[in-house]
Structure 1
């Protein structure tokens, strides 16, 4: 066995980790093909110009990972979350993507995502304290 010295790091180790990650990406792409990731989304503003909601995600091969959806508390229950989800899905379709996934804590919005067509495919128990995180997906094709 060849020897190697392990060197610990915290936060940003710099170019050496970047090099290692690039090597992993090259290896993965030899199996998966090119990886094109593009971040996109929508901001919702009220008549006063205040941000009251947002959604964004990024393309990952045939999928779109919806990273964040937020609606200001006083705008919840009025359809804005559904409008934001519909907008990002339509935009994903323009990019040729018809599969979506996301994660949400149990105290956030799993029932909302089910209402807009997502299904739970996995749960990670007690991610933060006593709260589970659910992983949901939706495939339109």
Structure 2
């Protein structure tokens, strides 16, 4: 979870570790918190926790209108794209080594 200076919730991440992989299921930030490093901190904390649990990789799915550039800026590499998922858009699968 991420909070602002007034302890108001501004973001969070939900993830699971299985098959030696951190699976990022959801990462969200309020519009006012974007571009200030909070997302980078959230993903970094999730990756650090995953390393402690023995995860060697991270995996995330994002759609064409979401956060692909954000993940790429944080070291994730495009592994594959499914066009038409949903119709008119694409789902992108990105991965990162945690080693």
Q: Give the drift of 1:60.
A: 1.3
Q: Which runs of 4+ in 1 moved over 4 A?
A: none
3-state SS of paired residue (1:127)? coil
Aligned to 2:71: 113
Compare CA radii of gyration and give the structure with the larger one. Answer: 1
Deviation at 1:48, TM superposition (A): 3.3
Structure number having the greater helix percentage: 1
Preserved CA contact (<8 Å) 2:51 2:98: no
In terms of fraction of residues, the more strand-rich structure is 2
Tell me the equivalent position of 1:134.
Answer: 92
1:102 maps to which residue? 60
Q: Which residue of 2 aligns with 1:54?
A: 12
**Aligned counterparts of 2:30 and 2:60: Cα–Cα separation in 1:** 19
In the alignment, which residue of structure 1 is the partner of 2:32?
74
2:49 to 75, 91, 96: 91
TM-score (norm 1): 0.66
Shift of 1:129: 3.0
Unaligned runs of at least 5 residues, structure 2:
none
The alignment partner of 1:128 has SS state of coil
Question: RMSD of the TM alignment (CA)?
Answer: 1.1
Relative contact order (alpha carbons < 8 A, sep ≥ 6): 1 or 2 greater? 2
Q: Give the TM-score normalised by the residue count of structure 2.
A: 0.93
> Residue 23 of structure 2 aligns with which residue?
65
CA distance in structure 1 between the aligned counterparts of 2:62 and 2:89, rounded to whole angstroms: 10
Q: Structure 1 residue 122: deviation in Å?
A: 0.8
